[in-house]
Amino acid sequence: MAPAWEATSDAMPEYNNHGDVLNQYWGRLTEERAEFQFHLVDDDEILARARCVPVRWDGTREDLPAGIDGAIERAFEDEGANVLCALLISVPRAQRGRARSGQALQAMLDIARVHDLETLIAPVRPSWKERYPLVPIERYARWRRADGFLLDPWMRVHERAGGKVLEPEPHSLRITATVAEWEEWTEMPFPDSGEYVFPGGLATLDVDREKDAGRYWEPNVWMLHQV
Amino acid sequence: MATEFDRHGDTHLLYGSRLRDEFPDFQFEIEEDGEVVAHGRSLPVRWDGTVDDLPRGIDGAFERAFEEGGANVLCAVGIGVPEALRGRQYSGRALERMLQVAREHGFPRLIAPVKPTLKYRYPITPVERYALWRRKDGLPFDPWVRTHARFGAQILKAERQSVRVSGTVAEWEEWTGMAFPESGEYVIPGGLATLAIDRERDAGRYAEPNVWMVHDV
């Protein structure tokens, strides 16, 4: 069986694997919080890969972690974890459109229940935000379809599972790298300093050629499930 | 890359059908084994040779060709290659043919509002900057601008409003396969610039940027 990260390596754009803060802690999830990491499998096939971690949260908006970066930092640096925080549900391309992400979300809620955590919070990565990279997340998070459900498919899966929108977070995941790294990840040249949209980007990339730096903040939407 | 909204240019809707009837000598198809591998559309227009007197992009070229006399240069308004035949130099051959058409009619210059092939990947970059981008070898960054440059063309200026396309919000949603729930600027698939949506006026406005280039025939 191929390693799980390999099976789901096509699920996220390459740039998403290079979080400044996220990558400092990511490897510790399977070593120090193993009971919260899981895969959905069918025989030998990986249907979904999931990461979550308990964190302390007092239940107020003000106390929400600063996005996914803040959540993973809090999980390893703060005591008193009392809620479960979703970090990733990743479905291989070949498995899309089969409700796998919803199944993985249910499994995550089960894990919270088993560990007597009454709340699951999720910094949701809205799947269609990449089509609207110029729209502020605060506005995007409110968009609904004619049937009243949320416009974004992944937010809608959360909503259908009982999740409520808590708060949009424009600065959830920070990714900083050299221009050459960004060019490699996105497979496009950035000849000038300035703002760029790029494939799979949920917001724009800010390129500064003088400082040889590309800065990106991935927006997420905090959602809340009562377990 | 032709998109659905490309078919809805305000000016093109007005004049497009008259191209063949009124300027048949300047429209051509290139065939290979009975199959059309490229087509070219061009129009004779008046131009005094200064940057200031250039028509407002493709829209302006159509207007000038049909509404004014005294044509003294040929203006390219479209070179197309079927999707399946891209990347085989047919567009270069069509450009060559267009230069030949200009020569045959005694026009000393061909001007071209060039639609930059890769601009759709840089929809928020001003075309004035994009047009200046060059590769390490010194040739223009954009492949189609580069083809023109290889044929000896010079860049004259960037044109932000070459082809204006207006529609209702519902039309734009249909053309692009997206939803536009709010007023604001949107990136759209295949768009060389952003689309401005005004929900109160039920209007979406888009202008395709081009790069004016000139060939000595």
Q: What pLDDT does A30 receive? A: 95
Give the tens place of pLDDT for each residue, A46-81.
999 999 999 999 999 999 999 999 999 999 999 999
Q: Scanning every residue of chain A, which has its alpha carbon at the shortest distance from the alpha carbon of B118?
A: A188
Q: Distance (Å) from the C-alpha of residue A116 to the closest C-alpha of chain B?
A: 40
Give the tens place of pLDDT for each residue, A198-219.
999 999 999 999 999 999 999 9
CB B210 within 8 A of CB B58: yes
Contact flag A143-B141 (C-beta cutoff 8 Å): no
Interface predicted TM-score (ipTM) of this complex, two decimals? 0.89
Q: Scanning every residue of chain A, which has its alpha carbon at the shortest distance from the alpha carbon of B192?
A: A197
**DSSP strand pairing (A83-90 vs A119-124):** parallel
Domains of chain A: 4-170+221-226 (3.40.630.30)
Q: Scanning every residue of chain B, which has its alpha carbon at the shortest distance from the alpha carbon of A198?
A: B121
Give the tens place of pLDDT for each residue, A151-182.
999 999 999 999 999 999 999 999 999 999 99
Mean pLDDT, range A182-201, rounded to an integer: 97
- The residue among A224, A122, A220 whose CA lies nearest residue A172 is A220
Give the tens place of pLDDT for each residue, B3-37.
888 888 888 778 878 988 999 999 999 999 999 99
Contact flag A134-B125 (C-beta cutoff 8 Å): no
Mean pLDDT, range B185-198, rounded to an integer: 98
How far from A54 is each of A112, A120, B198, CA to CA, in Å?
9, 9, 44
Contact flag A191-B133 (C-beta cutoff 8 Å): yes
CB A160 within 8 A of CB B150: no
Q: Which residues of A touch B (CB under 8 A)?
A: 131-135, 139, 143-144, 151, 188-189, 191-192, 194-197, 204
Q: What is the dihedral of CA A64, A67, A71, A77, to 10 degrees?
A: -90
Q: What pLDDT does B205 receive? A: 98
- Separation between Cα atoms, residue B204 and residue B187, nearest integer Å: 12
Return the SS3 of A124.
Answer: strand
CB B201 within 8 A of CB B134: no
Q: Distance (Å) from the C-alpha of residue B143 to the closest C-alpha of chain A?
A: 13
User: Global pTM?
Assistant: 0.92
Q: Scanning every residue of chain B, which has its alpha carbon at the shortest distance from the alpha carbon of A142?
A: B181
Q: Scanning every residue of chain A, which has its alpha carbon at the shortest distance from the alpha carbon of B140?
A: A191
Tell me whether B120 touches chain A (CB under 8 Å).
no
The label of the residue with tokens 């199959």 reads B35
Q: Which two tokens stand for residue B58?
A: 């493709």
State which amino acid sits at residue A158. Answer: H
Q: What pLDDT does A96 receive? A: 83
Q: Which two tokens stand for residue A199?
A: 């494939």
Q: What pLDDT does B4 receive? A: 86
* Residue B38 exposed, middle or buried by CB count within 10 Å (0-12, 13-18, 19+): buried
Straight-line distance from the first to the last Cα atom of chain B, in angstroms, rounded to the nearest whole number: 27
B31 bridge partner residues: B36
Q: Distance (Å) from the C-alpha of residue B122 to the closest C-alpha of chain A?
A: 7
Identify all chain B residues contacting A139, using CB atoms and an 8 Å cutoff. Answer: 182, 184
Identify all chain A residues contacting B142, using CB atoms and an 8 Å cutoff. Answer: none
Q: Distance (Å) from the C-alpha of residue A23 to the closest C-alpha of chain B?
A: 29
Q: Distance (Å) from the C-alpha of residue A163 to the closest C-alpha of chain B?
A: 22
Q: What pLDDT does B9 receive? A: 86
Domains of chain B: 4-163+209-216 (3.40.630.30)
- Separation between Cα atoms, residue B183 and residue B168, nearest integer Å: 12
- Separation between Cα atoms, residue B44 and residue B138, nearest integer Å: 32
Mean pLDDT, range B113-141, rounded to an integer: 97
A90 bridge partner residues: A49
Q: Cα-flanking dihedrals φ and ψ of residue B53, to 5°?
A: -90, 5
Mean pLDDT, range B171-197, rounded to an integer: 97
The label of the residue with tokens 């919000």 reads B169
Q: Which residue has the higher pLDDT, A1 or B117?
A: B117
- Separation between Cα atoms, residue B191 and residue B163, nearest integer Å: 12
- Separation between Cα atoms, residue A130 and residue A152, nearest integer Å: 11
Tell me whether B49 touches chain A (CB under 8 Å).
no
Contact flag B125-A192 (C-beta cutoff 8 Å): yes
How far from A221 is each of A104, A153, A173, CA to CA, in Å?
18, 13, 12
Contact flag B184-A191 (C-beta cutoff 8 Å): no
Angle made by CA atoms A118, A152, B191, in degrees to the nearest 5: 150
- Separation between Cα atoms, residue B105 and residue B108, nearest integer Å: 9
Q: Report percent pLDDT > 70 for chain B.
A: 99
CB B116 within 8 A of CB B129: no
- The residue among A14, A78, A90 whose CA lies nearest residue A52 is A90
Tell me whether B67 touches chain A (CB under 8 Å).
no
Q: State how far Cα B215 lies from the chain centre.
A: 16
Given a cut of 70, whether residue A5 has pLDDT beyond it is no
Give the tens place of pLDDT for each residue, B59-79.
999 999 999 999 999 999 999
